[in-house]
Copies of this chain bind each other. A is one copy, B any other.
Amino acid sequence: MSITTLKRLIDRELSKRLPRVSEKPQILHKAMRYSVFPGGKRIRPIIVLEACKTCGGKNHDALAAACAVELIHTYSLIHDDLPSMDDDDFRRGKPSCHKKFGEANAILAGDALLTLAFNILADDLAPKIAVRAIRELSEAAGTHGMVGGQVLDIAKYKNIAIINRLKTAKLFEAAAKIGAICAGASEKKIKAMAGYGANIGMAFQLADDLTDKKELGISDASSARREAGQFIRKAKGGLKIFAAADDLRKIADLIWNV
């Protein structure tokens, strides 16, 4: 299945699982959908689906989990953009959630998306798979993951690699692991997926920084490029234990060619 087809599948499923705007409180449900759609590249949920497929599962096995991962990502963007954090007025070319709906509603829309992610996992997956996925996702999102990374980020913590690891790579790692978990993969395969996810997560963040930060010095840019290339090679190297992992390799190349 092409990336475009997967994205469409994910978008349809996200729309089905988000509360309708016709339900009360409408402004909350509007704010949630406003931030989820049209969205970005949907790279994290695509990784969930492709990791599942690579471990012998079907899209259907991991679609709920893919949505949960994207909702966690979206909640983190809304909260990161807030005036007391990065104070970003724009996100993906339109006003950020708090600019459009006010600060209080933006905070609450984020809270609701985070809550909904866990609801979807508990509601949709077989219990043993659900608790494992919830554990992975809550660890990636928590104080030793995304929230912890954001705290270090706003505190102007110097070690950028640690911030990237916590804010970005942890969720990529969880995405790949959860895909494997949804396919009922062995511990060995889950571990291999974790490595793949963490490495492309780090490469993704470096690529993102290279695109965003025009002010990056030439020597900084060339060392970032070298580093990103190493992460991509490591990510691909870890895929050797899988019989057919070309789609995951393609995602790695895609990330490095953004």
A152 touches B (CB below 8 Å): yes
With a cutoff of 8 Å between Cβ atoms, the chain B residues found around residue A122 in the complex are 130-132, 134-135, 138
- The answer to whether residues A151 and B102 also contact, given A112-B143, A138-B119 and a CB cut-off of 8 A, is no
- Contacts A84-B104, A107-B84, A154-B104 given; indicate if A143 touches B79 (C-beta within 8 A): no
| Contact among B123, B141, B154, B157 with A115 in the assembled complex (CB-CB below 8 Å) | B141
With A84-B102, A143-B28 as given contacts, are A107 and B79 in contact (CB-CB < 8 Å)?
A: yes
For A147, the closest partner residue in chain B by CB is: B112
For the complex, give the distance between the alpha carbons of A138 and B110 in Å: 14
Contact partners of A115 in chain B: CB under 8 A? 114, 138, 141-142, 147
* Chain B residues whose C-beta falls within 8 Å of the C-beta of A92 in the assembled complex: none
- A-side binding surface: helix, strand, loop or mixed? helix
Task: Tell me if A204 is interfacial: C-beta within 8 Å of chain B.
Answer: no
A150 at the interface (CB under 8 A from B): yes
Shortest Cβ gap from A168 to chain B (Å): 16
| A231 interface contact, C-beta 8 A | no
Complex formed: what's the CA distance from A125 to B131 in Å? 9
> What residue in chain B is nearest A28 (Cβ atoms)?
B151
A202: Cβ under 8 A from any B Cβ: no
Give the nearest-CB partner of A86 in chain B.
Answer: B104
Please measure, in the bound complex, the distance between the C-alpha atom of A133 and the C-alpha atom of B122, giving whole angstroms: 9
B107-A135 in contact (CB<8A): no
* Docked CA distance A119–B111 (Å): 16
Which of the four size classes fits the interface of chain A?
35 or more
Q: Chain B: which residue is nearest A122 at the CB level?
A: B134
Of B28, B128, B147, the contact of A108 (CB 8 Å cutoff): B147
B108-A111 in contact (CB<8A): no
Choice from B119, B127, B138, B142 contacting A142 with Cβ under 8 Å: B119
Determine the chain B residues whose CB is within 8 A of the CB of A103 once the complex forms.
Answer: 84
**Residue from the list B111, B118, B131 in contact with A147, Cβ < 8 A:** B111
Of B79, B128, B148, which is within 8 A of A28 by CB?
B148
Contacts of A155 in B (CB 8 A): 25, 27
Provide the residues of chain B in CB contact with A24, threshold 8 Å.
148, 152
28 A-B pairs in the complex with CB atoms less than 8 angstroms apart: A24-B148, A25-B143, A25-B151, A28-B147, A28-B151, A82-B104, A84-B103, A85-B107, A104-B151, A108-B147, A111-B114, A111-B147, A112-B142, A112-B143, A115-B141, A115-B142, A115-B147, A118-B138, A119-B135, A119-B142, A122-B130, A122-B131, A122-B135, A123-B135, A125-B131, A127-B128, A130-B131, A131-B131
